[in-house]
């Protein structure tokens, strides 16, 4: 990544995160419920037997209810654990009370004792992000964890991002390695960028 793009991404990321942080707690909770319901109603979610999800951190779209819904519907729940060198470990979780611990940044992550899953077994990946545009581009948090992980999935796997409408911008600055999303779900809309999956 060139330095100009790196700097631009950092500025845009900060602006998007400020937009997200400006939401009050009650507004964030009510919008999160709408977003999660849209996800649950989607065919991608209903068809998937193995779902990789993120657990919300700070002021992200809340996802704990979705994790519970995955387990209640007898689907396999996969959660990411950040490992060295920007690697995501996809670990299976069967009990949210027993299988999680706080990771290095205070993010709820699966314990290392959980079983690591082959990424090729995953049917749906639900991802967070700092900002998005309506061309399917995602601006992550700067570590490249998800972009590297996407390369390990089957091509047909839907990559569905959850975001508040206020995180959508005109154009996300992108590099070659940045993966596009299949869908973006906000409290207002489900944006579809690809017919894959």
Q: What 3-state class would DSSP assign to 122?
A: coil
Report the C-alpha gap between 135 and 139 in whole angstroms. 12
183 beta partners: 160, 192
| One-letter-per-residue 3-state SS of 127-194 | ECCCEECCCCEEECCCCCHHHHHHCCCCCCCCEEEECCHHHECCCCCCCCCCCECCEEECCCCEEECC
Closest among 78, 172, 67 to 125, alpha carbons compared: 78
Binding site feature residues for substrate: 55, 60
State the CB neighbour count (10 A cutoff) for residue 71.
16
Say which DSSP state 106 is in: S
Say which DSSP state 88 is in: E
Binding site feature residues for ATP: 9-13, 138-146
Binding site feature residues: 9-13, 55, 60, 138-146
Which structure tokens are listed for 33?
């419920």
Sheet containing 190-192: order of strands: 87-93, 76-83, 50-52, 124-127, 159-162, 183-185, 190-192
């Amino acid at each position: 990544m060139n330095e100009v793009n790196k700097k631009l991404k950092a500025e845009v990321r900060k602006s998007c995160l400020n937009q997200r942080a400006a939401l009050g707690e009650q507004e964030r909770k009510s919008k999160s419920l709408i977003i999660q319901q849209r996800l649950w109603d989607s065919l991608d979610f209903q068809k998937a037997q193995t779902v990789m999800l993120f657990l919300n951190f700070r002021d992200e779209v809340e996802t704990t209810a979705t994790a519970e819904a995955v387990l209640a519907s007898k689907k396999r729940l996969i959660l990411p654990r950040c490992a060295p060198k920007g690697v995501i470990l996809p670990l299976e979780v069967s009990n949210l009370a027993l299988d999680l611990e706080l990771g290095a940044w205070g993010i709820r992550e699966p314990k290392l004792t959980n079983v690591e899953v082959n990424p090729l077994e995953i049917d749906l990946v639900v991802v967070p992000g700092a900002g998005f545009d309506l061309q399917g581009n995602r601006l992550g948090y700067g570590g490249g964890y998800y972009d590297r992980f996407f390369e390990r999935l089957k091509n047909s796997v839907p990559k569905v991002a959850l975001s508040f409408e206020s995180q959508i911008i005109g154009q996300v600055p992108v590099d070659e390695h940045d993966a596009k999303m299949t869908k973006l779900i906000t409290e207002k809309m489900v944006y579809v960028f690809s017919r894959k999956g």
